[in-house]
Amino acid sequence: MVRTHTISTADQEPKPQVVATTIAELETTAAPKQRKGEDVDLESCRKSLRERVVDAFARWMYDAGLTFNCVNYTDSFSEFIEAVGQYGPGMKPPIYHETILNVGPENVVQVVTDNASENKKAGGMLKGVFPNIYWTLCAAHCINLMFGDIFKLAPYSTVFAKAIKIYSYISPRPLLLNIMRRYKKQRNLVKPAKTRFTTAILTLHNVYLQKQNLRTLVLSTEWSESIYAKETLGKEVARFIIGPYFWNDTVQALKVGNPLVSVLRLVDGEKKPPMGYIYEAMDRAKEAIEKAFDHDRRKYERVFEIIDKRWDDQLHQPLHAAWHILNLGLFYTNNENKTLDLNFWKEYHARVAKLVPDEVKQYKIGQELGVYMQADGILGLASAIRGRTKLALVEWWMQFGYEVPNLQQFAIRNIGSRYKSRNIIDPILLDNIDEENEWLTGGPKNHEEEEVFEGEGLTFGHVAMASGVE
């Protein structure tokens, strides 16, 4: 698989200049300088050059979205470093076409990029040259685009800005920060993450967890007697915290955001392969959102439209249908529950036709699919059934798939033989999507009805009305 990810130049820091000086040049120039009495530390120069190379390499890995465990592939990685070093300065990186030809088109299943126009153009050209290779969007990038569209809607467009205003007001004021920490038990309100939308949801999550402590703070004597209670911005922050409307909007944002963040973590994990789980993960995320809103479609209909449009236009591929069917940990349960619809099977067969041009082999794969579906022979052994959730997908197919050799070969090629046992997707990660909003269900449905002091009948709705909070 060839994977790329681009970051706009606005997001990048200035990169160090390419080092033209080589170790060989240092060795040839060091001796003359030493004869003139100059102290040249060759080892120090080597170390400095290596640090600059490693820094440039690490930046490339980060920008490309490569997992850092790539450096553990010591043999091929060492050969690559050695070859670049022998070439010397001026080595130009290969393009998509060159890379695929060197790897072998028959060994490439898909090319994954973000949605930048140049990558879309390159993807279209690749599909023309290599018709058996899929060009797809990075799943994590697609989910971030979903977040971007959702955050343009009310109340999501404003609630995070209010949460940041609360944080930005408290954080730079040491005295207020110290008071705050006593009430919120040392928790940080902002939780940094890999993307700004994930940061937004996790920050809202943290702020909501501290709702009671934040309210206790702005209702305290320390606050009312401080200069902060008299400042315009301080009054505004206090209105957000005391009023019920910010908290109602926060809960609504979390009901949508939490399940999608879980999917994003799944597909963007460093060790766990998401392929074969994307369908299931997105379905569970939508079910969790639907459940959180008590199946009142009016409250999540627009969000679902955004999710479905991005999914259908950019991420939905026959490739994912094939991965899902070949993912036995999910397939057998879904097939038994009859949740695989006709379109799903059409996409699977489209994938077979594209990846396996030989019609005779297609027919054999189709015959063997029936054996797989019924779990006949070795596929139905107790150890094979237990291995569905215990073994990595490739290991399972290698151990138990030899009675369906054509389907076995097709499965291993789709799933990717590079995945090891450490890359197993824990089913609990999918269960976490189902349960992501469970902690919200115990809270009030409307924060206007929350009492300021339990049993006294004074609600935050009354306080908001008296304070003129909107």
Q: Is the N-terminal amide bond of 155 cis, ω within 30° of 0?
A: yes
Q: Which pLDDT value is given to residue 232?
A: 92
Backbone angles phi, psi at 402, to 5 degrees: -75, -10
Strand partners, 111: 2, 135
Half-sphere exposure of 177 (CA within 13 A, CB side): 11
Mean predicted lDDT score pLDDT of the chain = 75
Closest CA to 408 of 357, 360, 351, 364: 364
Q: Helix, strand, or coil here: 122?
A: helix
Higher pLDDT, 442 or 261: 261
At residue 403, does pLDDT exceed 60? yes
Long-range contacts of the stretch 451-456 (C-beta < 8 A, 24+):
452/219
- Residue 132, pLDDT score: 74
399 versus 417: the higher-pLDDT residue is 399
One-letter amino acid for residue 31 of the chain: A
- Sheet strand arrangement including 134-137: 2-3, 110-113, 134-137
The pLDDT of residue 378: 93
* CA distance linking residue 398 with residue 375, whole number of Å: 15
Q: How far is CA 295 from the centre of its chain?
A: 26
Grouping H, G, I as helix, E, B as strand and the rest as coil, residue 392 is coil
The 10s digit of each residue's pLDDT in 56-99 is 888 888 777 677 777 776 678 888 888 888 888 888 888 877 88
342-391 pLDDT, tens digit per residue, is 877 888 888 888 888 889 999 999 999 999 999 999 999 999 999 988 88
Domain ranges of the chain: 139-313, 317-428, 439-469
Q: Quick one: average pLDDT of 287-306?
A: 93
- In the predicted model, what is the mean pLDDT of residues 213-225? 86
Q: What average pLDDT score do residues 401-422 get?
A: 75
Q: What is the mean predicted confidence (pLDDT) over 267-273?
A: 60
Q: Is 111 helix (H, G, I), strand (E, B) or coil?
A: strand
Say whether 372 sits in a helix, a strand or coil. helix
Instruction: Answer whether residue 165 shows pLDDT above 70.
Output: yes
Check residue 4 and give its pLDDT. 39
Cα distance between residue 362 and residue 359, in whole Å: 5
Give the pLDDT confidence score for residue 73 in this predicted structure: 65
Return the top range by mean pLDDT from 34-48, 141-155, 274-288, 444-458.
Answer: 141-155
Q: What is the pLDDT of residue 448?
A: 54
Q: pLDDT of 119-138, one tens digit each?
A: 777 777 777 787 777 777 77
| CA proximity to 244, closest of 460, 457, 444 | 460
* CA–CA separation, 389 and 387 (whole Å): 5
Residue 7 pLDDT greater than 50, yes or no: no
For residue 305, give Cα distances in angstroms to 82, 97, 141, 347, 431.
Answer: 51, 36, 18, 22, 24
Please tell me the predicted confidence (pLDDT) of residue 443: 53
Amino acid 17: pLDDT: 42
Rounded percentage of the chain residues whose pLDDT exceeds 90: 18
Check residues 315 and 169 and name the one with the higher pLDDT: 169
Nearest to 264 by CA among 200, 356, 319: 200
**How are beta strands 110-113 and 2-3 bridged, if at all?**
parallel
Mean pLDDT for the stretch of residues 187-216: 74
Model confidence at 447, pLDDT cuts 50, 70, 90, reads: low
The rounded percent of the chain whose pLDDT value lies above 70 is 72
Listed residue (102, 100, 101) closest to 112, CA to CA? 100
pLDDT tops 90 at residue 249:
yes
Higher pLDDT, 267 or 407: 407
